[in-house]
Amino acid sequence: FTQNEVAPHMQKWDAEHIFPVEMFTKTAALGFGAIYCKEEHGGSGLSRLDASLIFEAIATGCVTSSAYLSIHNMCAWMIDSTGTEEQRAKWLPQLAPMSRLASYCLTEPGSGSDAAALKTTAKSDGNYYVLNGSKAFISGAGATDLYLVMCRTGADGPKGISCVMVEKDTPGLSFGKIERKLGWNAQPTREVVFENCRVPKSNRLGPEGSGFGLAMRGLNGGRVNIASCSLGAAHASLLAAREYMTVRKQFGKQLAEFQALQFQLAEMAAQLVSSRLLVRQAAQSLDSGDPGAPAVCALAKLHATEQCFDVCNRALQLFGGYGYLLDFPVQQYLRDSRVNCILEGTNQVMRMLVARDIIGRLGDA
């Protein structure tokens, strides 16, 4: 599917800033619109490990499209795992076939890594919440249909945060300009703005005050997913470099005949395979309900996104000047995978989470 429906269009989508909605519908027909949601309302009932394989495969054709698909799946899972029967019956049959698309709204202009400090408010007004505030860097914003918004329904801190679903046509919901980005040009990124936006309380996911915990649980899987997208970028870049080295000649020999460059390929393969194994382990830890899964997911995201970006960068170097040209896809894998070190929690935050887990385990011993 990736070879036929995704890879041939990757560079066009990037150059023309096309959000490939039609492709997502085809992807959903394969069962990839709600991969790890229960089958009751249209989900595929697959595992996090299955999802990792899927996101990696699609990312070999377009990192940006696979990344958005992972976000949509995270939103669907949040509804499936936490929503009421009425919420699940309403939304999952629309999200699974991707006839309607979802966006995840946590980050704000003033609170990125410090997500618990978010300021968007949801004031109670009878059977409604009235939302005021804004979210930043929201993938798909303006082109998607449902927004899972973390907002403050109580006091400061994580226990005052709830998750509320806001539909696109709700009065008081608007969007900022499309951001100009280094990569991820095949999906719109915008600010999401709430101005006296009235949302029924029946749109809240879970009890009041449970939104921050839900958002963090969603991010555990999101970190595995985005790391899987980096695997796809590195895999495609490694294959492209290998092929180029067999056709490009310098000093009368193929590049593949130079031992120094052979060593480069070997090191890139080691980076890719070690990252892949760690990402798969993290996915399995989520599937098994391992209480240590959050730290493993953070470690996998940290390692894979940085190592795989380096693989893409090395591949570009092996292409020489041609790697820097937009005609060759390796530069796009580099650009599109760079942000994976930032989103779903920066890699500095990942280091903090891993270090806390190590120190905690030493204390227990």
Distance, CA of 212 to chain centre? 18
Same-domain status, 58 and 80: yes
State the pLDDT at residue 160: 97
pLDDT, tens digit (0-9, with 9 covering 90-100), for 31-86: 999 999 999 999 999 999 999 999 999 999 999 999 999 999 999 999 999 999 99
344 is catalytic: yes
pTM equals 0.96
Among 5, 108, 191, 344, which one carries the catalytic annotation? 344
Q: Write down the pLDDT at residue 74.
A: 98
Q: Which domain holds residue 128?
A: 103-208
- pLDDT, tens digit, 9 for 90 and up, residues 80-117: 999 999 999 999 999 999 999 999 999 999 998 899 99
pLDDT at 365: 46
Q: 251 and 234, same structural domain?
A: yes
248 and 330 part of one domain: yes
15-54: b (≥16 Cβ within 10 Å) or e: eeeebbeebbeebbeebbbbbbbeeebbbbebbbbbbbbb
Instruction: Find the range with the poorest average confidence among 108-117, 142-151, 192-201, 291-300.
Output: 108-117
Same domain for 276 and 310, yes or no, is yes
Is there a single domain that holds both residue 128 and residue 1? no
Using an 8 Å Cβ cutoff, are 122 and 211 in contact?
Answer: no
Residues 131 and 231 in one domain: no
Mean pLDDT score of the chain: 97
How many CB atoms lie under 10 A from the CB of residue 82? Answer: 20
Task: Give the chain's domain count.
Answer: 3
What's the whole-number mean pLDDT along residues 125-139?
A: 98
pLDDT of residue 30 exceeding 80, the answer is yes
Residue 157 confidence (pLDDT) above 50:
yes
Mean pLDDT of all residues in 182-196: 98
* Residues 262 and 126 grouped into a single domain: no
Same domain, 45 and 145: no
The confidence band for 361, taking pLDDT boundaries of 50, 70 and 90, is confident
